Amino acid sequence: MATKIVLVGAGSAQFGYGTLGDIFQSTTLYGSEIVLLDINPVALAVTEKTARDFIAHQDLPFIISATTDRREALRGAEFVIISIEVGDRFALWDLDWQIPQQYGIQQVYGENGGPGGLFHSLRIIPPILDICADIADICPQAWVFNYSNPMSRICTTVHRRFPELNFVGMCHEIASLERYLPEMLGTSFDNLNLRAGGLNHFSVLLEARYKDSGEDAYADVRAKAPDYFSRLPGYSDILAYTRIHGKVLETEGATERAALGGRDSAWEWSDRTLFKEILQKFNYLPITSDSHFGEYIRWASEVSDHRGILDFYTFYRNYLGQVQPSIELKMKERVVAIMEGIINDSGYEEAAVNIPNKGFIKQLPEFIAVEVPAIIDRKGVHGIPVEVPSGIAGLLCNQIGVHDLTAEAILNGSRDLVIQALLVDSVNDKCRAIPELVDVMISRQSPWLNYLK
């Protein structure tokens, strides 16, 4: 019987085309029925036509259908992949940044952590819970993979509401290790055994070992990382190139240096001045740059590369606006490998998944969703315990209360719990202004936040 895969949010060309391109490369998934689901019928029709034309041209054995009816789409689904946003992504993101700033709250990025991450969560998690309610009712055994952010708060809340659901968060930040470490260490990626862990966008490399010799590679990482990353180009360099040459560089799957023809950055530690502090003071390598890692640390505002973060945001916004999407037979994400691993009972180790903390990081409670490696087999996704050093664990523990209260605020529709979530957030240093800030945000984003009473 054909495998049924549902793509929720398939009208987004970036998600829909990219995921289809990944699926179309899998011989394990040949013959699968792929259902495209979106609330926007116009965008959905474009994705459907593009997919049908592509499989006809490539003579690929897949069945494509499209619908705006979620319950119809989910009937018989074995895998569901979610990537959605609500409203105007960038306009709402700007409010998440600007309004807290008007009340004196500094944020590094405002997408996944701090006040911006909270309001983003308050908007996007309710519709994801609605999707999950239908999955729990119609196809409760399906494996559900989420690409929407804020990842750790989404996963934490979903598992609190639907503890039996097979819901896994996916993020490609872990792929940075494959881009950077081989070049830095002078070896192939296949020769490295690596393990990372933490929270989504807040993880570090925990173990590194050479396969051929069995020797610890972390000493080399620590010795070589300062010279390598201090010269590595960042998004300020990429944006400058884009403005000069009038074309957008493709940085996915390559180092920024390779994308720029081998040149070094015009700035030291571009995108990574906070990264530098973590590496030097905690002695562990973050797997992401300042824009993400800095969202969870109060003092990050002092040491982050704010120019690089702003240029990343500008490039990201321009890239989404300018890129001409297409389906490519070029693997971009890891979800297909996991689906293959479940179908084939492969037992392989996946580098990073976001799942409830069932003892995988001992310093964190079970309810919070952690990012850890996992074994993939016919029974699903099984997290692997990792040893997190006390200093890094201390940073992670600052997020326990805000994740707990975010979930409770959403599940109870409680304005008071939103206020508490901000007051326990280590990124926030204000008190008296918080109730007014919350009321202003509810008013400005009322189509998505008026459930908070």
Task: For residues 398 and 396, give the distance between their C-alpha atoms in angstroms, rounded to a whole number.
Answer: 5
Contacts of 75 (CB under 8 A, 6+ apart): 138, 139
Tokens 């979930």 map to which residue?
407
Q: Considering the candidates 120, 172, 201, 292, report the single residue annotated as catalytic.
A: 172
The number of C-alpha atoms within 13 Å of 202 and in the hemisphere containing its C-beta is 25
Can you read off the two tokens belonging to residue 31? 């013959």
- Considering only CA atoms, give the Rg of the chain: 21
Residue 172 is among the residues annotated as catalytic for this protein: yes
Strands (E) located in 151-257 = 166-169, 192-199, 202-210
> If DSSP codes are grouped into helix, strand and coil, which group holds residue 66?
strand
Can you read off the two tokens belonging to residue 91? 């306009």
Task: Please give the full DSSP string across 340-409, using - where no structure is assigned.
Answer: HHHHHT--EEEEEEEEE-SSSSTTS-TTSEEEEEEEEETTEEEE------HHHHHHHHTTHHHHHHHHHH
Helix (H) or strand (E) holding 58: helix 41-58
Structural contact between residues 238 and 314, judged by C-beta atoms closer than 8 angstroms: no
Instruction: List active site positions.
Output: 172
